[in-house]
Amino acid sequence: MFILYAIPAGLLAGFALGGRPRGLTTIQFRFAWVILLGLAIQLVLFSDQVTAWIGAAGMPIYVLSTVAVAAAIAANLRVGGMPIVLAGALSNLAAIVANGGYMPASADALAALGYATDRGYSNSSFVTDPALPWLTDIFSLPDWLPGSNVFSVGDILIALGVVVVIVAAMRTPVAAVTGADTTHLDRTTPESARA
Could you tell me if 170 and 94 are in contact, meaning their C-beta atoms sit under 8 angstroms apart?
Answer: no
Instruction: Name which of 85, 83, 70 is nearest 162 in CA terms.
Output: 85
The mean predicted confidence, pLDDT, of the chain is 85
pLDDT (tens digit per residue) in 119-175 = 555 566 777 899 999 999 999 988 888 878 889 999 999 999 999 999 999 999 856
φ, ψ of residue 164 in degrees (nearest 5)? -65, -40
- 106 or 186: which leads in pLDDT: 106
On whether the pTM is more than 0.85, the answer is: no
Residue 189's pLDDT is what?
Answer: 47
Residue 135's pLDDT is what?
Answer: 97
173-192 b/e (C-beta count within 10 Å ≥ 16 → b) = eeeebeeeeeeeeeeeeeee
